């Protein structure tokens, strides 16, 4: 134990010392330059280590992933586009794509709408009531996704008819004398996928509510008063005065949740592992990588995800720049 603590301490000291030395050296190099050049070149030298770190930990693995997606399961032989064609020609993978699309279409929109509804309604409560309501809705944010999924498995749990129902929903059905329903197996109209989405909504609406609530409170009161004096109804005020003024926050929340949903994994893995037609890309990636040991297919899935995320990122950066320009 002591040995480990000592090792840790020495490592930290060497780490800090080394980093200080590097920056000291970079500083010295910059100071060697003529004064005009020193000011110009110093920021670049300071940013260099961070840049190298990003290259090493982010860009290099990304490039490697793209390369591996054209190689075989052990990343040894080139196989051309086989990983992609095999995935895309499998009906199970097409179902997976469709399910992921459903998540992307439904979850961000519902998160924003419900978050906005809660933020607006809570704004009209007494301060104590508002705090209480917001705290309760924000609480699930503090639970890890795996924890949330485990909790919700109990909500949907089904024991054979006649046995004691420890799942919340089936216990309720039992009160009304109904037979238990195996909720997570109900794949008609993707009901079970929707039930999984409920878990993410439950844990994410707090996030959306907090950001949107701050935005709603930031709407200048005089614009609201002006609208009222002009005879606008509450509904008109909300859609024509409040919403346009918080549009930036709405878009930010929407994009953040969308990116989160595209990578969704934990909930599906814990609750169904993609069975009963609930599979999504994140889970399929994990299974290809960790169950099938097929690095090629796993990399191909990641590349598809990367490609799908790029337009959203691009939009977000553009939106961010536009916001900054306005500010």
Q: Candidates 118, 137, 210, 270: give the one binding other proteins (CB under 8 A).
A: 270
The answer to whether residue 53 forms part of the interface with other proteins (CB under 8 A) is yes
The answer to whether residue 65 forms part of the interface with other proteins (CB under 8 A) is no
Calculate the alpha carbon distances from 69 to 76, 99, 223 in Å.
11, 22, 54
Q: Candidates 126, 128, 163, 326: give the one binding other proteins (CB under 8 A).
A: 163
CA-to-CA distance for 178 and 126, rounded, in angstroms?
41
- Part in contact with other proteins (CB under 8 A); list of ranges 40-48, 195-203, 209-217, 304-312: 40-48
Give the other-Cβ count within 10 Å of 115's Cβ: 26
Closest CA to 123 of 233, 251, 209: 209
Q: What is the DSSP string of 32-46?
A: HS-HHHHHHHHHHHH
The answer to whether residue 46 forms part of the interface with other proteins (CB under 8 A) is yes
The answer to whether residue 154 forms part of the interface with other proteins (CB under 8 A) is no
The answer to whether residue 158 forms part of the interface with other proteins (CB under 8 A) is yes
140 neighbors 203 (Cβ within 8 angstroms) = yes
Q: Candidates 34, 80, 127, 162: give the one binding other proteins (CB under 8 A).
A: 162
Q: Candidates 117, 146, 275, 315: give the one binding other proteins (CB under 8 A).
A: 275
Calculate the alpha carbon distances from 245 to 121, 152, 194, 219, 316 in Å.
17, 36, 32, 7, 18
The answer to whether residue 285 forms part of the interface with other proteins (CB under 8 A) is no
Closest CA to 153 of 190, 183, 194, 110: 183
The answer to whether residue 146 forms part of the interface with other proteins (CB under 8 A) is no
Give the other-Cβ count within 10 Å of 15's Cβ: 10
> Applying CB under 8 A, which residues contact other proteins?
4, 7-8, 11-12, 15-20, 22-24, 27, 39, 42-43, 46, 49-50, 53, 73-74, 90-92, 157-163, 180, 182, 184-185, 187, 269-270, 272-277, 287, 290-294
């Amino acid at each position: 134990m002591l040995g480990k603590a000592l090792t840790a301490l020495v490592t930290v000291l060497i780490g800090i010392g080394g980093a200080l030395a590097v920056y000291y050296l970079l500083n010295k190099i910059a100071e060697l330059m003529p004064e005009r050049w020193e000011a110009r070149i110093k920021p670049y030298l300071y940013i260099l280590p961070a840049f190298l770190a990003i290259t090493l930990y982010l860009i290099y693995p990304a490039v490697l992933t793209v390369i591996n997606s054209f190689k075989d399961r052990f990343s040894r032989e080139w196989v051309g586009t086989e990983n992609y064609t095999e995935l895309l020609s499998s009906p199970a993978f097409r179902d997976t794509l469709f399910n992921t699309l459903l998540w992307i279409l439904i979850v961000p929109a519902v998160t924003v709408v419900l978050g906005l509804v809660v933020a607006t309604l809570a704004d009209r409560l007494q301060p104590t009531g508002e705090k209480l309501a917001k705290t309760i809705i924000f609480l699930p944010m503090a639970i890890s996704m795996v924890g949330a999924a485990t909790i919700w498995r109990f909500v949907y749990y089904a024991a054979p008819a006649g046995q004691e129902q420890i799942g919340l929903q089936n216990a309720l059905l039992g009160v009304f004398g109904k037979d238990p329903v195996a909720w997570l197996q109900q794949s008609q109209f993707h009901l079970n996928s929707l039930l999984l989405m409920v878990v993410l909504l439950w844990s994410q609406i707090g996030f959306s509510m907090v950001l949107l609530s701050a935005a709603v409170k930031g709407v200048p009161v005089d614009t609201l008063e002006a609208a009222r004096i002009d005879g606008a109804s509450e509904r008109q005020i909300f859609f024509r005065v409040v919403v346009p003024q918080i549009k930036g926050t709405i878009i930010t929340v929407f994009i953040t949740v969308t990116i989160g949903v595209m990578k969704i994994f934990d909930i599906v893995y814990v609750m169904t592992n993609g069975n009963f037609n609930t599979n999504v890309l994140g889970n399929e990636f994990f299974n290809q990588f960790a169950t099938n040991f097929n690095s090629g297919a796993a990399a191909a899935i990641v590349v598809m995800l990367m490609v799908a995320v790029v337009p959203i990122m691009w939009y977000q950066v553009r939106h961010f720049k536009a916001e900054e320009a306005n500010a």
